[in-house]
Structure 1
């Protein structure tokens, strides 16, 4: 399909401050929601993975079939990817015995491999160049790997690393702040900064989610997982309704890694 056959606006949201706030809340909901199904409801990591992967595949199919940006559909798909990422990471690191370090290393390879394949196939991994179904498929595959990596990485630092949920969350928050400074004051590639930030928001959300619902003697606040999930979902819905939601630009540009 020719470039001019595509709409001027993307089916993906513009990357704004509101985008990042909702993204962090969505990743936190992914942690509490995934744990609600696998732990509180006692369905286990494998069953939880099956449930959320099925939901994710359905939503990705609907998202890819859409002809315009639909905020509720996009964010539902993101939330499904974070919940699937939570249960997949827990299944790999705990049920399969890979461990946090091994799981994080394996998933990092998957994320980088997805980005490299995407770049070699299409010449760019910029989200403003997601203008057809093939590119969008790469987008969702990369996002799902990044969501899974974030869960394993957050658990690794908080638990095995001995930093606790507050300590690990502080580190990820500081790294995100560093990326923001690079964005504001350096000519660093905007595409690279986007993907670095997108990946880091996931372990931040994972550690915040664990801090909310883990027992007090494990460093958490021992909030009810279903209640925490409901509050987070309500906050996301409120932000979607009140924070301006607009599609990002998808005007044709030279295919390169970033600017």
Structure 2
């Protein structure tokens, strides 16, 4: 399929998990995709190419470091020739009581999940404005932004910030034909969490959905591609629950 033939896509946090599947799906449908992700031991100058799969390249990007983000987007613009779609999928989870949450742990979660998302949005939006043809930004938040989440207070707060950024950016950049939306996944079965989840965990979480199952990366990826397609042209500033009915508001 070539639904996205000629479309230039940057996926931040696309080396694996939900972001990885989104990058794969765009590539499968004809897009020119570049993944920006944290590569341990990478050359800060981002020299050399490495592969993230068919139709995808991957370059180093440390969301905690504003200079690294700026350099990564400079490389993306040079290699792709512009940006039509940005997907922000990077994030970390910090578990534990808010009463015991250390300041440095709070800062790290907010720096990556919220501040890093803002930096990526800024660089992509500037490119889209310069191009003069608009574009699409899809931010991957979490149902924790609405539901809180007992021992995930910092994570929930950071993802609520992403929802707020999505709305603010949609209002500010709409005049440039830039659409900004957020996806709020529920429990999604990714390889990243397979070492810590049990069959009992999966069964318990599945009962939270009226559909009786957990989400898959494809469930989220399909919606992300819809938002970036012509079928999603009149959607902006929205936060869509991709939770199998676990959240209905």
Q: Which has the higher helix share?
A: 1
Higher relative contact order (CA 8 A, sep 6+): 1
As a proportion of its length, which structure holds more strand? 2
Give the TM-score normalised by the residue count of structure 1. Answer: 0.32
